[in-house]
Copies of this chain bind each other. A is one copy, B any other.
Amino acid sequence: MLVHHLYSGGKDSSLAAWILTRLGYNVELVTVSFGLLDNWRFARETAERLGFEHRVLYLPKETLEKAAEMAIRDGHPNNAIQFIHEKALEALASLPEVERISDGTRRDDRVPLLDLPRARSLEDRFGVAYIRPLLGLGYKTIRELTERLFVVEIRESEELEKADYEVELRHLLREKGIDPLGIFPKSHYQSRVMGWKEGRNREIE
């Protein structure tokens, strides 16, 4: 029973991947790229440290272009991020070998997050099961599980050493001569999952 799991290398998508293995699924991690940057390598590196299979799924650059237009129009990235995530789920669900897709979206997230009609529509249109291991967990539970499982490095940084949609979106905005700092909320801290915290009992099986 194989699940294709959208993966950024961050804490949430790493925790969701672990939960899938605990439910007995085989998990292949999938990181989306638009081919502008190779920041998917951060997700690959974390995937390898955690012992998961990993692949890159390339999405058309037009999707990122459209997302950039939305972010510029809104002066805020939320709709753009939501748009990319839906396109990523659809692209993954449409691969012929894919029967189950998953992501690390949370109950308390604003974006990206599919409401129930959208989640059901995704399943119906592509004939897949859409699994969201974190949807029923609040921040306390996610924090206690994450702290138990992962070595996380938190540091102040301007570079975005991560593989989420934001990085290529910021890059494209900069290419268009637009300062992403006017659109994205500022955050100087970033966290990276560096590996499992201890012994085998937490490792994937």
Would you give the shortest CB distance from A26 to chain B, in whole angstroms? 13
Q: Is the CB of A23 within 8 A of B138?
A: no
A201 nearest in chain B by CB position: B24
Q: Determine chain A's interface SS by DSSP, over half rule.
A: mixed
Would you give the shortest CB distance from A15 to chain B, in whole angstroms? 10
Contact of A138 among B24, B131, B138, B140 (CB under 8 A): B131
Contact of A135 among B1, B107, B130 (CB under 8 A): B107
Q: In this assembly, does A73 line the interface, its C-beta being within 8 Å of a C-beta of chain B?
A: no
Per-position contact with B for A173-197: 1 when CB-CB < 8 Å, else 0? Answer: 0000000000000000000000000
Q: In this assembly, does A118 line the interface, its C-beta being within 8 Å of a C-beta of chain B?
A: no
Q: Is the CB of A136 within 8 A of B132?
A: yes
Contact of A22 among B23, B123, B129 (CB under 8 A): B23
A116 vs B108: C-alpha distance when bound (angstroms):
8
A137 vs B24: C-alpha distance when bound (angstroms):
14
Per-position contact with B for A113-156: 1 when CB-CB < 8 Å, else 0? Answer: 00010011001000001111111111011001100100000000
Query: Chain B residues with Cβ under 8 A from A22's Cβ?
Result: 19, 22-23
Q: In this assembly, does A100 line the interface, its C-beta being within 8 Å of a C-beta of chain B?
A: yes
A24 vs B199: C-alpha distance when bound (angstroms):
14
A100 nearest in chain B by CB position: B141
Q: Is the CB of A136 within 8 A of B134?
A: yes
List 8 extra interface pairs beyond A22-B22, A135-B136, CB under 8 A: A1-B144, A22-B23, A108-B120, A129-B138, A129-B140, A131-B138, A134-B136, A135-B135
Chain A interface residues (CB < 8 Å from chain B) = 1, 19, 22-24, 100, 107-108, 116, 119-120, 123, 129-138, 140-141, 144-145, 148
